[in-house]
Amino acid sequence: MTNLETVKKQALKNKEVKKAYYDLDLEFSIINQIIEKRIKKGMSQKDLALKMGTKQPSIARFESGYYNPTISFLKKISKALDSKLEIKI
């Protein structure tokens, strides 16, 4: 039996589907891109938090959508993930 997560992973392999999925909501897009990047780097929430100088619950709240991040917070995340923060309008 296939579960929802398996279907989602398969669907997101298609670049058009992935773009549409992330374009649904900017905040959702940012969170998911950061989660993907963190996982690709093999980092746990705790690892990311330590690298940022914060605590794991802060990362959990952000990733679950319960925290409205500041630009400063997003900059810290991008630096900890060796990434560049770009804001486009």
Average pLDDT per run of 10 along the chain, which is 89 residues long?
79 85 68 93 97 96 88 96 87
- Domain ranges in the chain are 4-80
CATH architecture of 4-80: Orthogonal Bundle (1.10)
pTM (whole model) above 0.85: no
CB count within 10 Å of CB 34 equals: 21
How close are the terminal C-alpha atoms of the chain, in Å?
A: 42
- Amino acid sitting at position 70: T
